[in-house]
Amino acid sequence: SELHRFMIPTLLNCPQDIPGQGNGSDCGMFACRFADSLSRRARINWSQQHMRYFRQRAVYEIVTQQLLE
């Protein structure tokens, strides 16, 4: 199926040095960032220190109903 064609190669090529969550409140944002990075096949080059920016960006995208690149 379509899902298996995406998931199998993605899971097999999962990077080992992914960032970890450093607090008890950013789990949702981490999940969103991982999903965004995987869907775009982008490098995961962000970390806990970027979460404030990503929260502000998410609010902007929701309010304006426009996704940023």
What is the distance between the alpha carbons of residues 36 and 15, in angstroms, rounded to a whole number? 15
Residue type, 48: Q
Q: What does the pLDDT read at residue 39?
A: 86
Q: What does the pLDDT read at residue 14?
A: 64
Q: What does the pLDDT read at residue 58?
A: 95
pLDDT digits (tens, 9 = 90+) for 7-46: 555 555 666 678 889 899 999 999 999 888 888 888 889 9
Q: What does the pLDDT read at residue 54?
A: 95
Q: What does the pLDDT read at residue 15?
A: 64
Q: What's the alpha-carbon Rg for the chain, to the nearest Å? A: 14
* Token representation of residue 6: 């995406």
Give residue for tokens 């969550």.
Answer: 21
Q: What global pTM score does this model have?
A: 0.69
